[in-house]
Chain A
Amino acid sequence: MTLLEFARGPALQVSVLIMIAGIFWRLAGILLLRRRPQLAAPRISPIGQIGGGLSTIMSRFVPRRTFWPRIAVSVVLSAVFHFGLAIILLAGAPHILLIHQLTGFTWPNLPKGLIVIVSGMTLAALIALLIRRVGHPVLRLLSTTDDYLSWLLVFLPVLTGILLSGEALAEYGTLLALHILSVELMMIWLPFGKLMHSALVFAGRGVMGANFARKGAAT
């Protein structure tokens, strides 16, 4: 079995299963968290609470103006790499093809050249964010192994993806195998570290927003 066959076969199957099991493991844990009873009367109807949740999901995309000067750099860099990752994953032809083969769903792709440019911007943003994390004294103190490991496991697929698209440094088959394996490592780690926010971010914002609305706070 070649490295590529391993990556496309057993490694893909095992990593997907671990990711699915891990995500549901985390979801079960979160859903079964003991919650304090809400004794105060709600300030708003249940429909209003849902509205508050939806409003918070959107409002958190834009930082408060008060904090903007301090966080502008990290917000912009984070936005570049998050939207970059989304474009690469959802508009890159090979990724759409993989999703089509796994689920049956498909949609049109963007040209490869555009995906490469977005990948380059994403990679640059990731590197800049790492430099900022290491260089900022407070951020460095707050950073854990999870932060660096998660960064690495996002960085590697983007890097190997760019090398693959340019077929640089190694043969296509080797680069493809390394790219797939790097994604599989990311999928395996996803449920167990901060990358889980990719599955929880909107639900988390929604629940928080609904609670805020119930208490009459701004969403």
Chain B
Amino acid sequence: MDDSENLGEMLARRGFGRRSLLKFAIAMTSSLALPPFIAQVMAANLAKAKRRSVVWLSFQECTGCLETLLRSSSPTIDSLIFDFISLDYQETLMAASGAAAERTLRDAVAANKGEYLLAIDGSIPVKDGGVYSLTGGRSNVSMLAEIAADAKAVLAIGTCAAYGGIPKAHPNPTGAVGVEDLVSGKPIVNIPGCPPVPEVLSGVLVHFISFGRLPDLDELKRPLAYFGTTIHDQCYRRPFYDQGKFAKSFDDEGARQGWCLFELGCKGPTTHNACASLKWNGGTSFPIESGHGCIGCSEPDFWDAGGFYTSLAGGSGTGWRNAGIAAAVGLAGGAAVALSARRKVDTDPDKTP
């Protein structure tokens, strides 16, 4: 693709007319919870937009986030938006390796100084000087500090990059942290999820390409339009929750009737994400629709927030042994105080019954 070509020209070359772009912009404004009249502005801005350089660094991760984004539904304009960004550095996807790859990174950063988007997937290990994850002999910590310094904005993609994710789970042997624990003074947007919903990334990119800034974020720096409500709020099984109809096991009559999975550990009520509205695999379904409760993967520290199959109403109990010890301590303490009081009465002639 010619770098001088704008998005409108690129889409036209691929058979998408102005009307298609406008339809896409209408869908996007709706998806981003923007006022309808913004759609025309967005379409006009998108048509004129030039390719935006994106540098993607993969740290302590499983590549699941990248896999998901690569396998998002196609061929839609969403996927062409991904084509439209200039992914100048991505270790898994690029052909170059070794010194050539490192040179590519340096060149991309130098050529787009202050203008490139920095995308991160994976957490950053900081323990022992960050030795637990190195690229070309450099720690993730030092790479992040260097590359983030000249970025226009930072996208933390996936729960690991956003909050530390699974590598940060107890006992966190590598001292894993999320991007915002290390980067300051830059606009950061967290797109959590294990993996994140691809359409959320395309929404953020479209917003950034159209308006030159990130969308409105919540207190955890997540795009409000996608993370403003809980899975529970949008869940099609919600009426069963309200009626008190719960599946008690994954193969009982309640489960077959599609009743609420709250008692089976569904974390939908405390999880903010767009799974229930955007769904997965081209709108096929989302975990609850497939019969499994939400595990809350887009929330910080989800891995340590109780068992996946422990309901939110439950808790980590004390166990019978501890309860027995507490009873014994109470019994002994109460008896000691009572006997002491009796002894006092016995020795006080005024109080003897």
Contact = CB atoms under 8 A, between A and B. Distances in A.
Given A17-B323, A20-B327, A9 B263 contact: no
B320 to A, nearest CB: 9
A95 B330 contact: no
B305 A5 contact: yes
A93 B246 contact: yes
Given A9-B315, A93-B246, A101-B311, A173 B333 contact: no
Interface residues of A, number: 44
B136 to A, nearest CB: 37
Interface of B: 230, 232, 241-244, 246, 263, 269-270, 300-301, 304-306, 310-318, 322-323, 326-335, 337-339, 342, 345, 353
A20 B269 contact: no
Contacts of B305: 2, 4-5
Contacts of B246: 93
A12 B312 CA distance: 13
A93 B313 CA distance: 9
A28 B270 contact: no
Contact of B244 (A12, A27, A111, A172): A111
A18 B330 CA distance: 9
Interface stretch (A31-39, A146-154, A198-206): A31-39
A83 interface: no
A22 B269 contact: no
B189 to A, nearest CB: 21
A34 B246 CA distance: 52
A109 B333 CA distance: 38
A34 B339 CA distance: 10
Contact of B335 (A32, A112, A115): A32
B199 to A, nearest CB: 24
Contacts of B311: 94, 97, 101
A138 interface: no
A202 to B, nearest CB: 19
A94 B306 CA distance: 16
Specify the main secondary structure of chain A where it touches its partner: helix
Contacts of A22: 330
A171 B334 contact: no
A1 B338 CA distance: 40
17 contacts: A2-B305, A5-B301, A5-B305, A8-B315, A20-B326, A21-B327, A21-B329, A28-B332, A28-B333, A28-B334, A28-B338, A98-B313, A101-B315, A171-B230, A173-B270, A176-B269, A176-B270
A156 interface: no
Interface in A1-54: 1-2, 4-5, 7-9, 12-13, 16-18, 20-29, 32-34, 36
Contacts of A88: none
Contacts of A131: none
B334 A34 contact: no
B192 to A, nearest CB: 15
B185 to A, nearest CB: 27
Interface in A73-131: 93-95, 97-98, 101-102, 109-113, 115
Contact of B353 (A29, A34, A95): A34
A115 B333 CA distance: 39
Contact of A98 (B232, B269, B314, B345): B314
Contacts of A102: 314, 317
Contacts of B332: 28
Interface of A: 1-2, 4-5, 7-9, 12-13, 16-18, 20-29, 32-34, 36, 93-95, 97-98, 101-102, 109-113, 115, 171-173, 176, 180
A29 B334 contact: yes
Specify the main secondary structure of chain B where it touches its partner: helix
A27 to B, nearest CB: 7
Contacts of B339: 32
B323 A109 contact: no
Given A21-B330, A25-B330, A172-B232, A16 B317 contact: yes
Most chain A CB within 10 A, of B301, B304, B318, B337, is at B318
B314 A4 contact: no
A106 to B, nearest CB: 8
Nearest to A34: B342
B315 A113 contact: no
Most chain B CB within 10 A, of A28, A34, A98, A115, is at A28
Closest 6 CB pairs of A and B: A28-B334, A24-B330, A94-B313, A21-B330, A25-B334, A8-B315
Most chain B CB within 10 A, of A9, A24, A98, is at A24
Nearest to B241: A112
A99 B242 CA distance: 20
A33 B305 CA distance: 46
B261 to A, nearest CB: 12
A119 to B, nearest CB: 13
